[in-house]
């Protein structure tokens, strides 16, 4: 049999005016990504254009359905297959060469941008002479490569600052943030912004006008004062990166280097610098971990975490019990996704606070330019406050978000069950209480599950869906589908005390409190965790969560899981002194004015003051390995379905350092044998709580990583 002829990613038409319209539509793909095959096809097309009939102008557009993007970036799978810096450098030079041919075509090329135009997609657009973007909210332009531990490798570090200036270019390249169309226009990144229905027509008119000399593209370029202040600008850029990342991420610093060296020379020399630095980064441990994290989140979007044949129920109406910070956050996220919300609480004052909090979330986005005033009002109109359960009968999903008290949760869910339909999913937003116990007295326990959101809901990307042995597949599928609709990374975990994220956090926080009991200084414990790569230290985190909440959760986990999770006694005196954390202004830190350690706290602890100096490495090991070991216990106990889910949960729910990829990727990097030896050494010094999980010892004996 003859092999099937591959379907081309490009199609093109040439009209009588000499305008060529080139449409990119990668076959069998939801979005356009720039991979080797697309690059080769583009190279061949350019050869035909250079040798073929005369073309006056060209428009480059996407053929994907509405809003699915111009080009969303490079093919990540291909990048993860690069095995050497030289291979990465060679690939970069190949892509640069193709885009340089686009840039020097003897006729103008206009990019018609609708939807995401990111990474390599923006680099393609930068090689065009003119850019027209739609004003659709989904249209965004940026170079997010640093979030994957990389720098732009197809000319982005050179063309962007030459287009919009050093300050604006450095900001976008070193942070990886993107701009909506209007902001991109203000920055000089695009030349026009128009409604999506007329995008193609405007792009065609612009192309012919450019060809006829009737229009000139905008070029802000590198300003004179930027040239004079180059040393200051680059020094400040490096300081901003180090302040933000703690030096754990090499890519932003290499990006600044590429801009600095490249813009001091010719474009050709700058592209060579970019390729060299790209090649060194693409095989770095940080990039491997960050790319692995990205791939894991993409896999989760497609993962079917329920039995085959289980049909999810699409959620059109949400019933929400509780209008506190968590309830208001869930309501705002649901309204953002187009879901109608009935939010119940016991007083008008509580409902008013909840509505104000939801509006604050939307107003914050309006302040950043990503929402207009009418869009804020449209979202708020989807949230209906109520003092009773009226309207809940039609709900497809009910979520309780009341205080972490077992009897209270049981009562409000029982009241809701008496009202809702039999195909309504019933969820509890609990962080530590077993879901089966909360739903023990409900009649339809097959539709009961946990939906553990993280605060603040509009910023935290993780959702833990907690299933009991009785939870039916359709209910799980419905909850997962709803979470994905809210743009969350959804992991499905088995019911039990603390589930996954709270359970692995508990020994980490316990160890921090023990270090204080032993005489460590508060700031030294927190600094060790931040130095490892956590965004905040464990004692600051306890203050944020609430010392009373932390103590309660630790007690629950200790009761359920045994001595390994036993909390230290040192928290009791703090609670006795009225120290609850940030919520009452007094915890490990005090919050009157600037946050600072209150030395009087040490008098409440066994060793008092002055504090004994602990070695930074010892503090770091005790904190981190307590968490790593519990993560393995969760995998062994089948709370987790896979190491992948454990990595995603820890990174997006707890702030585990993304550049390490997650607990299981980090264990693979260390080697299970080495990790087991560290834990055995800690066990000998500090007790049984550090005894390695049997599964870790098994992996160590077989010299096998968790990710295969």
Task: List the catalytic residues.
Answer: 464
Half-sphere exposure for 507 (CA within 13 Å, toward CB): 26
Query: What is the token pair recorded at 512?
Result: 């921090």
Helix (H) or strand (E) holding 412: helix 406-417
Which string of b and e fits 183-197 if b means at least 16 CB within 10 Å?
A: bbbebbbbbbbbebe
Phi, psi for 356 (deg, rounded to 5): -65, -40
CA distance 189 to 176: 15
Burial class (CB in 10 A: 0-12, 13-18, 19+), 301: exposed
Instruction: Mention every residue, 6+ apart, whose C-beta is less than 8 A from residue 13.
Output: 20, 21
Half-sphere exposure for 336 (CA within 13 Å, toward CB): 26
CA distance 205 to 519: 73
Contacts 24+ apart (CB under 8 A), 174-177: 174/146, 174/237, 174/240, 174/241, 174/252, 174/255, 174/256, 175/146, 175/252, 176/142, 176/143, 176/144, 176/145, 176/146, 176/147, 177/142, 177/144
Query: What is the token pair recorded at 289?
Result: 């971990």
Closest CA to 45 of 3, 8, 93: 8
Instruction: Mention every residue, 6+ apart, whose C-beta is less than 8 A from residue 445.
Output: 436, 439, 468, 470, 471
Instruction: Mention every residue, 6+ apart, whose C-beta is less than 8 A from residue 576.
Output: 604
């Amino acid at each position: 049999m003859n092999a099937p002829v591959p379907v081309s990613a490009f199609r093109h038409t040439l009209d009588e005016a000499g305008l060529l319209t080139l449409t990119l539509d990668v076959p069998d793909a939801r979005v356009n990504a720039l991979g080797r095959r697309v690059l080769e096809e583009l190279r061949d097309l350019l050869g035909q254009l250079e040798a073929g009939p005369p073309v006056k102008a060209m428009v480059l557009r996407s053929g994907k359905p509405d809003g699915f993007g111009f080009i969303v970036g490079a093919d990540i799978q291909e990048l993860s297959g690069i095995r050497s810096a030289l291979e990465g450098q060679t690939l970069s030079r190949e892509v640069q060469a193709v885009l340089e041919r686009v840039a020097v075509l003897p006729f103008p090329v206009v990019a018609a941008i609708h939807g995401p135009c990111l990474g390599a997609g923006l680099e393609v657009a930068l090689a065009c002479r003119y850019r027209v973007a739609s004003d659709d909210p989904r249209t965004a332009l940026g170079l997010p490569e640093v979030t994957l531990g990389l720098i732009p490798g197809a000319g982005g570090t050179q063309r962007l600052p030459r287009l919009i200036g050093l300050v604006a270019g450095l900001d976008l390249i070193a942070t990886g943030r993107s701009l909506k169309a209007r902001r991109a226009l203000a920055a000089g990144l695009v030349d026009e912004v128009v409604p999506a229905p007329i995008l193609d027509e405007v792009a065609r008119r612009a192309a012919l006008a450019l060809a006829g000399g009737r229009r000139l593209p905008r070029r802000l370029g590198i300003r004179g004062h930027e040239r004079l202040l180059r040393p200051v600008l680059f020094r400040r850029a490096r300081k901003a990166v180090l302040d933000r990342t703690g030096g754990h991420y090499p890519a932003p610093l290499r990006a600044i280097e590429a801009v600095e060296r490249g813009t001091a020379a010719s474009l050709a020399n700058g592209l060579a610098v970019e390729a060299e630095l790209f090649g060194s980064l693409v095989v770095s441990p940080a990039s491997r971990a960050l790319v692995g994290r990205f791939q894991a989140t993409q896999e989760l979007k497609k993962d079917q975490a329920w039995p085959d044949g289980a049909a999810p129920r699409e959620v059109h109406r949400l019933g929400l019990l509780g209008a506190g910070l968590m309830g208001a956050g869930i309501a705002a996220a649901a309204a953002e996704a187009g879901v109608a919300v009935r939010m119940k609480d016991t007083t008008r004052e509580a409902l008013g606070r909840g509505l104000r909090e939801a509006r604050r979330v939307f107003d914050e986005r309006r302040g950043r330019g990503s929402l207009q005033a009418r869009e804020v009002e449209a979202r708020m109109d989807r949230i209906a406050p109520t003092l009773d359960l009226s309207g809940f009968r039609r709900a497809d999903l009910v979520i309780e978000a009341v205080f972490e008290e077992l009897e209270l949760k049981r009562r409000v869910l029982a009241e809701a069950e008496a009202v809702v339909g039999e195909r309504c999913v019933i969820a509890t937003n609990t962080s530590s209480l077993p879901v089966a116990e909360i739903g023990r007295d409900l009649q339809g326990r097959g539709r009961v599950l946990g939906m553990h959101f993280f605060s603040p809901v509009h910023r935290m990307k993780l959702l833990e869906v907690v299933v009991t042995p009785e939870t039916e597949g359709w209910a799980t599928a419905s909850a997962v589908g709803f979470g994905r609709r809210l743009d969350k990374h959804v992991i499905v975990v088995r019911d039990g005390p603390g589930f996954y994220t709270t359970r692995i956090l508990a020994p980490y926080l316990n160890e921090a409190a023990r270090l204080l009991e032993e005489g460590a200084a508060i700031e030294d414990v927190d600094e060790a965790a931040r130095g490892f790569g956590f965004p905040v230290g464990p004692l600051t985190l306890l203050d944020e969560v609430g010392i009373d909440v932390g103590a309660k959760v630790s007690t629950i986990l200790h009761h359920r899981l045994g001595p390994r999770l036993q909390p230290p006694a040192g928290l009791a005196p703090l609670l006795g002194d009225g120290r609850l954390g940030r919520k009452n202004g007094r915890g490990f830190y005090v919050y009157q004015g600037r946050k600072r350690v209150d030395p009087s706290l040490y008098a409440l602890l066994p060793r008092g003051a002055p504090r004994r100096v602990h070695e930074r490495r010892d503090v770091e090991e005790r904190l981190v390995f307590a968490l790593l070991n519990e993560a393995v216990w969760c995998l062994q106990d089948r709370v987790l379905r896979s190491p992948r889910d454990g990595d995603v949960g820890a990174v997006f729910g707890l702030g585990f350092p993304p550049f390490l990829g997650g607990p299981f990727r980090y264990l693979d990097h260390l080697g299970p044998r080495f990790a087991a030896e560290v834990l055995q050494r800690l066990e000998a010094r500090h007790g049984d709580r550090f005894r390695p999980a049997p599964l870790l010892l098994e992996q160590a004996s077989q010299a096998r990583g968790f990710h295969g």
